[in-house]
């Protein structure tokens, strides 16, 4: 019975480790260039060329840079 409990505990710990490190969203802080400002949101481009919708932003004009937390 003790061996079965140890095996189940090891499986459970392995599952928790997998879920914590391999399925969590990656967040990075990046400089983005604002390429469009609409009435309700801003569209920006990351330095590696991906367009992202950043919602409301503090930019006053297009072509300005902001430091944002990006989820990939």
Query: Over the chain (72 residues), what is each successive 10-residue block's mean pLDDT?
Result: 92 90 78 89 88 84 86 70
- Rounded Cα distance between 42 and 48, Å, is 18
Residue 22 token pair: 């391999």
**Model pTM score:** 0.56
- Rounded Cα distance between 65 and 40, Å, is 18
Closest CA to 62 of 31, 20, 24, 34: 34
Residue corresponding to tokens 């990006």: 70
């Amino acid at each position: 019975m003790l061996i079965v409990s140890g095996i189940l505990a090891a499986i459970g710990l392995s599952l928790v480790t997998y879920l914590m490190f391999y399925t969590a969203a990656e967040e990075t802080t990046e400089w983005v260039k604002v390429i469009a400002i609409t009435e309700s949101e801003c569209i920006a481009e990351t330095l590696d060329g991906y367009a992202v919708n950043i919602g409301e932003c503090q930019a006053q004009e297009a072509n300005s840079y902001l430091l944002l937390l990006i989820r990939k």
